[in-house]
Amino acid sequence: MRSAVVRALAAADGAPHGAQLAQLHRPGVSRFFGLRTTATNLGIIGPKPFKPVPPRLATAAAKSAGAARQAYRLGTNLTVYEVLDPSASKCDKFLEATRAEEQGLATPYDAGASTPCALDDLIDYGTRRAGAALQRIGAKSGALPFCVADASGYCIDFLRRKLVAARLHQQNLHECDWSPVNKASLQSMSADAKGNLEMIPDRWRASEISSFLTGRADWGLFASVFPCLWGEVAEKLSTEDDRARALALVKSKDFLRVVQSFRRSEGIAPHPAVAYGIAVAEEKKQSKRAMVSPRASTPRKKRASTPRKKRKASAGVAQ
C-alpha cells in the first residue's frame, strides 16, 4: 500500500495535472482527501524543512539516495515533501483497523444473497453501519482526517456516500427505484454540510428530490452535490435578471459546447463555476464583436477631394 502511494506521488511530482488541482482548490471535501493529504495522514510523506545545502553536499546526497526520488513537489504551490522512513507509516494500522470492520461493512450480497430487499439493506448500511465503522477506523488508525468527536462531520459523510455509491454499482442498484426512500434517510447518506436538502419539503421522496435537482429519478444519492457545486455561481447572481440570464446561458448549446471542449482538452469535466466563467467570457466577446461589426460594415464618407493645383495655390497664398 505504501509503495502504491509513493508511485502515485512520483506521477504527481511537479503538478502536471494543473486543471484538476485548480478545481480541487474550490470549496469541497476533496481538499481533505487528495493525494498529498492522504499520503501525509498515512505517515508516508512530510513537508521538507528548508535547509540551505552547499551544491557539492546536495549532489553527494542525491547520489547516495540512489535512483529513487526522495522528495516530490506537490500542489499548485509546488511545496516540497520528502518521503519519510517506513517506520513512520500508518498503513499497517489503517489496514488492521479496516479489516477489523470487515464484518460490519459487509452486506448480504457479499455472502452471495440476492434478496428483493437489497435496497433496504443498503439504506441501513449507509445510514447506520458504514458511519459507525468509519468512526472506529479513524480512531484506531489515526490515518483519516477526523476524530471520534467528528463522527458526524463532513469528511465521514463524504466517505460514507462513496461507500454506498460503490455498493450501488456493485449490486446493480444504480438504476433502481428510489421512491421508497424518504428524505430523512437520504439526508443521512448525503454529505450535505450546507444543509441544501433542508430546503426540500419533508414529504418528498428521494426519487422526487433527485428529479428536481438532477433531472433524473435515480441520482438521489448525489442530489446534494448539485446545489453545492452550483452554489459558487448562484451566490454571485444578486438579481432576478441576473438569475434569468444565467439560466438561459446554462440551458444553451453554447454552455454544452464549453463543457465538452473542456473535457476534451483537460480529460475531466469542468467545475460548474469554471464552465460558467468560460461561457460568460465567450458571451461577452461575441457581444463586443457584434457591436463592432455594424460599424465596420458602414461605409465611411469620402472627403471632398481638392484638385492638386488648387491645393498648391492655397498653400502659396497661406505663405
Cell of 153: 462531520
Collapsing DSSP states into helix, strand and coil, what is residue 211? helix
**What residues does each domain of the chain span?**
2-54+66-88, 91-176, 236-291
At residue 55, the pLDDT reads: 58
Inter-residue contact 82 to 71 (CB < 8 Å)? yes
Q: Is the pLDDT of residue 54 over 70?
A: no
Angle of CA points 91, 95, 97, to nearest 5°: 115
| Residue showing cell 497664398 | 317
The answer to whether the pTM exceeds 0.75 is: no
Q: What percent of the chain has pLDDT over 70?
A: 78
At residue 67, the pLDDT reads: 40
Kindly report the number of other CB atoms within 10 A of residue 107's CB atom: 16
At residue 213, the pLDDT reads: 92
> CB neighbours of 237 closer than 8 A, spacing ≥ 6?
243, 246
> CB neighbours of 164 closer than 8 A, spacing ≥ 6?
122, 125, 126, 130, 189, 221
Range with the lowest mean pLDDT among 7-16, 139-148, 153-162, 280-289? 139-148
DSSP H or E stretch at residue 47: strand 45-47
